[in-house]
Amino acid sequence: MDLIHIIYKYFRKKLDSNFEDSASVIENGEDQAKKSGNQDREYFQSYTDVGIHEEMLNDAVRTNAYRYAILKNYEKIRGKVVADVGAGTGILSVFCVQAGAKKVYAIEGSSLAEQTRLVVEENKMADRITVIQGKAEDVTLPEKVDVVVSEWMGYALFYESMLPSVLCIRDRWMKEDGIMLPSSAVLYIAPFSDEEISERIEVWSSIKDKYKVSMDCMKTYAKQCLSYGAHVRCICPEDVISHAYQLVNLDLNKVTVHEVTNIQRKFELSCFGSSRLSGFVLWFTVSFPGNVVLSTSPYSQATHWGQTLFYVEKEPEVKQDTVISGKLSLRPNQQKPRFLDVNISFQVDGGGLHQKYYYMSDNIT
C-alpha cells in the first residue's frame, strides 16, 4: 500500500507540474498577445497625429513617385478594383481614381479613417472610394481586387512591420492575375565613416578643461549608447566607403510573410581608400511596373526615410580593397513586433569577429 501511495504521489506531482507548465505557457502566450495588441493600438493611434501625414505629404519625392507610378500604369488600373492598404489621408486612393479605377477600398486601421472619408467627399469620389476602418488582417472586402497599392515601407524597409498586412490582403483578396504597387523592393547595405562621431566622443575629454572635472570614463559609455539602436538621417555620399551590397530583393507578387519576417543574409564589401569603419548604413528602393523607381539612396534626392545607420563600438581602420564580410539578421521583436531586432556580425580582412545587437524601437534618433 505504501508503494502504491508513493507511485500515486509521484504521478500526481508530475501531472500537477505539467498542468502548471501548460498554464504558464498559456499565460505567457496571452501576455505576449496582449503586448502585441497594445503595441498595435499604440501604432494605429500614432497615425491619428496629423504631423506624421504632414511629413509624408511634404516628402515630394515619395508622393510624386507614387502619383507618377499610378498614373503611368493607368491601363492596369482603369476600370479595375483596387485595395489601398494603410490608406492614411487617402491620397493614393484618389490617385487611383484619377487613373480610372472603377472602385477603391481604402483600408485604414486608425480612427483617421473619419478624415479619409472627408477627403474622399471633398474630392467628390464617394461613389468610387469606400473607406474601411480596421486592421488589414481583419477586414472583409465585398469583392476580389485587381490591384493592391500601399506605401508600407519603414526605416530600413521593414520597420513597423506593415508589409505582412499588405501580403495578407494580397493573399486573401487579390485576383490571381492582380498586380502589386509597388511590385518589388530591394534593401542595400554599405559601410560608412563618420568623422563627427570622434568629435562627439571627445567632448567628454574636454569637460576637464571646461570645469576641472575629469570624465574620460564616459567615453566608452557614450559609444555604447550610440551603438545601441538605429539612427536615421541623410548621410553624404562621400561618407559611404564601398559599393552597396544588395541584401534583399523581394518580388512582392510572390514573397511570403515568413520570408519578410526572418531576414538572414551574408554580405561582402570592398572598401574605397583609407578611413575608419564607423558602422553600416541601410537604404532601400521600391519599383513599380513601367520602370518607376523610388529610391532612398544617399545618391538620390532626400526623402523622409533618410538612411538607417548602425554604429559599431570599435572603429577598425580600413584601406583600399579592405574586405568586410559579415551577416545581417533582421526580424520583428518577439515582444513588440512593430519593432525590429537587428544583429550584425562582421570581419575585416578575415580578422576577429565583431558582433552587435541593435534594438530598433521608437527611440530612433
CA 105 – CA 169 distance, rounded (Å) = 11
DSSP string across 66-83: HHHHHHHTHHHHTT-EEE
Amino acid at 195: E
CA atoms within 13 A on the CB side of 100: 11
| Number of residues in the chain | 365
Helical residues (DSSP H) of 101-233, grouped into ranges: 113-122, 163-173, 195-211, 218-226
* Signed CA dihedral, 360, 232, 113, 70: sign only: negative
Q: Among 160, 195, 202, 313, which one carries the catalytic annotation?
A: 160
Q: Which of 27, 75, 122, 151 is catalytic?
A: 151
195 is catalytic: no
**CA–CA gap between residue 179 and residue 166 (Å, rounded):** 12
Quick check: 113 and 131 in contact, CB under 8 A? Answer: yes
CA–CA separation, 154 and 144 (whole Å): 27
CA–CA distance, 83 with 145 (Å, rounded to integer)? 6
φ/ψ of residue 214, rounded to 5: -80, 130
What does the buried/exposed string (b/e) look like for 304-313 if buried means 16 or more CB atoms within 10 Å of the residue's CB?
bbbbbbbbbe
Q: Are 241 and 320 in contact (CB under 8 A)?
A: no
Q: Residue 260 has which C-alpha cell?
A: 519578410
Strand pairing class (174-181; 129-133): unpaired
Residue in this structure with the C-alpha cell 571646461, named with its chain if needed:
210
The DSSP letter of residue 271 is: B
Please state whether beta strands 103-108 and 129-133 pair in parallel, antiparallel, or not at all (unpaired): parallel
Q: Which residues are catalytic?
A: 151, 160
